Amino acid sequence: MCGIVGFVSRSTPAVGPLVNGLRRLEYRGYDSAGVALEGTAGIKVYKQTGKVAELDKLLKSALKTEAESGEYAVGIAHTRWATHGLPTRANAHPHVADDGRLALVHNGIIENYAALRAGLEKRSIKFISQTDTEVLAHLIAAFDKGDFLAAVSQALKQVEGTYGIASISARHPGEMIVARKGSPLVIGLGEGETVVASDVSAIVARTRQVVYLKDGDIARITPEGVQIYSLDNAPVSRDVQQVDWDLGAIEKGGFEHFMLKEIHEQPDALRNTIRGRIDRQGATAILAGLNLSPRDLAAIRRLVVIGCGTSLHAGMVGKYLFESLADLPTSPEQAAEFRYSNPIVGPDDWAVALSQSGETADTLAAVRESIRKGALVSGLCNVVGSTIAREAGRGVYLHAGPEISVASTKAFTAQVTAMLLMALKMGRTRRLSHEEGVRIASEIERIPDLVADVIREEDEIARIAAKYAHADDMFFIGRGILYPAALEGALKIKEIAYVHAEGYQAAELKHGPIALLSAQTPVVALLADIPGKEKTVGNVQECRARQAPVVGVATKGDDDAAAQVDDVIFVPRTIPEISPIVSVVALQLFAYHVARLRGCEIDQPRNLAKSVTVE
Ligand code: G6P
């Protein structure tokens, strides 16, 4: 969603670092962009609808010479994903107040903005945008009696809602005030320069020394570094951390798209998820971050797995893993539903929040609600230091490396792998025998190679994708542990290829959706070898009897299943618990090639955001 970059230096021109930072945030999804620069001549604001490249053109023509851009060593920049008001230039950030002397960028939503705006309008303050953010800019200006940080604190105390903000003022040259509540902000400490961003990927090109702000923090940023306070003006200290990956991890490395790169990275990513986590002797998993003793695990009566989007689908796979390996009743929960349902969770329950970004607003709220109700809470996140990981206090990091493509791929397979490790550990404290544990553990160790086998089928998958790329409607069916895999296959193709797709439990097709089948509606059937596969093969027959062409994803060597479908994608033989991983990798490649042939913008699909930080 929206992205923030800020830059403060004594002499380095801010415009380059700001635009480069915005480029690194493009993957999050946005519809307009803008920059405010502060120099001796005051503050200048440039905004543009559409892509950062358009904004860059505007800046290049406005600041023609190096000397011109060298005048501005402080600046803030933003990519906006519209919430309040259309994606127009007027609604793009930064927003200004104090006759253009103050500029502000904001992520999040100010819920009481209408009341605040009415109050300001009564004082004859004129608004030029429809956004909630502009209200905050005017409030800060109204409170500014000479101390910028105090003015921002006072303004924020009036605000209900969520924010990550960065503000500069010509009245306070050379400093920037930033604050967060519910929307992440990271500060990068460079040599004679300080960088701020809503996402660490916009910082690593300049420094890898970072400080993560916590909710309720407000900070003064200068070229020398950062001073952090609470909103009540008490100094607080936050650790400086070292980012442990470099720029290469967030570049395309020769692939046409980030999505394709991330699909191909999966064998390595999953090796990292598994590394050091298998205890061969005990036939169990080592997950120190969970910080749960066998007694703690044995006391758990129910598992609640919470997530949104692809993470929810991974959580749905978790139900089968924990129920089959650990005899643990498991309910997958859509986070927004969970948080508002007055959920029944308590001390006997283990709530596990799945989130690639660790910042999804609804998932975070579900974590907080579970903590309030006394449940044991863990995070299963990819982004180290993310809010969910920190607030859950215990958990398992995926170690899949940065995921840039909006459509999630390696996070899904890493989440399922991490849950498999958790289910193994849990199972071994319960009824899973040593022998069974050994069998599961050694198959987990094969996951990276199994995924590499699927990726080797890419040419064949691309050939089949070409045959179906024209279809505007598709169905994905599966049962048991492959039912959530069908949902994930449908989601991928909706997200990146804009194909209307429905994921169904295979038996459910007969209860209505079969009415829609025709020769124009391909069905992708998940037929890997799991209990109940023959029943799905039966459902395939029902589809073909309605002339729907069928693509099967089947286990290598399963000629019987292959004979029942029009086209087959083979995946390697494995245990049922791992079948969603290999099947989904095939579906990721299928969706990717359909999208490519349809000429879609694969890494940044329309209307979508990588990290959904509003409800
Ligand atoms: C957005 C992304 C999805 C992602 C979902 C949950 O909708 O576009 O790809 O699955 O958020 O994100 P999370 O970071 O919590 O896994």
Answer yes or no: is the C-beta of 32 below 6 A from any ligand 1 atom.
no
Answer yes or no: is the C-beta of 137 below 6 A from any ligand 1 atom.
no
In a domain, 219, yes or no: yes
CA-to-CA distance for 543 and 359, rounded, in angstroms?
A: 40
CA of 386 to the centre of ligand 1 (A): 14
pLDDT of 160 above 90: yes
Say whether both 366 and 395 belong to one domain: yes
DSSP string spanning 99-121?
TTTEEEEEES-BTTHHHHHHHHH
Single out the residue of 207, 204, 201, 209 nearest to residue 184, CA to CA: 201
pLDDT of residue 206: 95
Handedness of CA 302, 484, 574, 497 (dihedral sign): negative
Say whether both 246 and 302 belong to one domain: no
Answer yes or no: is the C-beta of 611 below 6 A from any ligand 1 atom.
yes
pLDDT of residue 347: 95
Residue 157 is a catalytic residue: no
CA of 74 to the centre of ligand 1 (A): 33
Say whether both 68 and 187 belong to one domain: yes
pLDDT of residue 113: 92
Q: Extract the tokens encoding 380.
A: 């299963």
Say whether both 98 and 28 belong to one domain: yes
CATH number of the domain to which 342 belongs: 3.40.50.10490
Q: Extract the tokens encoding 238.
A: 């936050």
Q: Over the stretch 439-481, which tens digit does the pLDDT of each residue have?
A: 999 999 999 999 999 999 999 999 999 999 999 999 999 999 9
Residues in contact with 512: Cβ distance below 8 Å, sequence separation at least 6, in sequence order: none
In a domain, 355, yes or no: yes
CA-to-CA distance for 375 and 263, rounded, in angstroms?
A: 35
DSSP string spanning 278-319?
EETTTTEE--GGG---HHHHHH--EEEEEE-HHHHHHHHHHH
In a domain, 607, yes or no: no
Domain housing 233: 3-250
CA-to-CA distance for 160 and 124, rounded, in angstroms?
A: 23
DSSP 94: P
Task: Among 360, 606, 615, say which to mutate for ligand 1: greatest number of ligand atoms within 8 Å of CB.
Answer: 360
Q: Over the stretch 538-573, which tens digit does the pLDDT of each residue have?
A: 999 999 999 999 999 999 999 999 999 999 999 999
Helix, strand, coil percentages (3-state) for the chain, rounded to 5, are: 40, 25, 35
Say whether both 105 and 28 belong to one domain: yes
Say whether both 112 and 52 belong to one domain: yes
Say whether both 112 and 194 belong to one domain: yes
CA of 51 to the centre of ligand 1 (A): 22
In a domain, 611, yes or no: no
Say whether both 272 and 334 belong to one domain: yes
Which of 452, 468, 491 terminates a domain? The answer is: 452
Residues 480-484, mean pLDDT to the nearest whole number: 98
- b or e along 224-251 (b: 16 or more beta carbons within 10 Å of the residue's beta carbon)? ebbebbeeeeeeeeeeeeebeeeeeebe
Q: Over the stretch 485-524, which tens digit does the pLDDT of each residue have?
A: 999 999 999 999 999 999 999 999 999 999 999 999 999 9
Cα angle, residue 594 at apex, residues 562 and 574 outer, rounded to 5° = 40
Residues in contact with 459: Cβ distance below 8 Å, sequence separation at least 6, in sequence order: none
What separation in angstroms does the CA of 407 have from each of 360, 393, 404?
15, 27, 9
From the CA atom positions of the chain, what is the Rg in Å? 25
In a domain, 511, yes or no: yes
CA of 408 to the centre of ligand 1 (A): 7
Region label for 127, one of left (φ > 0), alpha (ψ between -120 and 50) or beta (otherwise): beta
Which of 417, 452, 487 terminates a domain? The answer is: 452
Is the bond preceding 484 in cis, omega lying within 30 degrees of 0? no
pLDDT of residue 614: 77
Structural domains of the chain, count: 3
Give alpha helix (H) positions in 184-289.
258-264, 266-274
Q: Which residue has the tokens 């993560």?
A: 212
Say whether both 226 and 305 belong to one domain: no
Residues 335-342, mean pLDDT to the nearest whole number: 94
Set 2, 308, 381, 543: catalytic member: 2
Q: What is the mean pLDDT of the chain?
A: 95
In a domain, 606, yes or no: no
Which ligand 1 atom sits closest to the C-alpha of 408?
Answer: 9
Say whether both 29 and 160 belong to one domain: yes
Say whether both 438 and 527 belong to one domain: no
Which of 226, 250, 274 terminates a domain? The answer is: 250
Single out the residue of 59, 103, 105, 98 nearest to residue 78, CA to CA: 105
- b or e along 15-43 (b: 16 or more beta carbons within 10 Å of the residue's beta carbon)? bebbbbbbbbbbbbbbbbbbbbbbbeeeb
pTM for this prediction: 0.83
In a domain, 212, yes or no: yes
Contact 52, 22 (CB under 8 A): yes
Single out the residue of 106, 38, 115 nearest to residue 72, CA to CA: 38
Residue 610 is a catalytic residue: yes
Say whether both 187 and 325 belong to one domain: no
pLDDT of 41 above 90: no
CATH number of the domain to which 237 belongs: 3.60.20.10
In a domain, 502, yes or no: yes
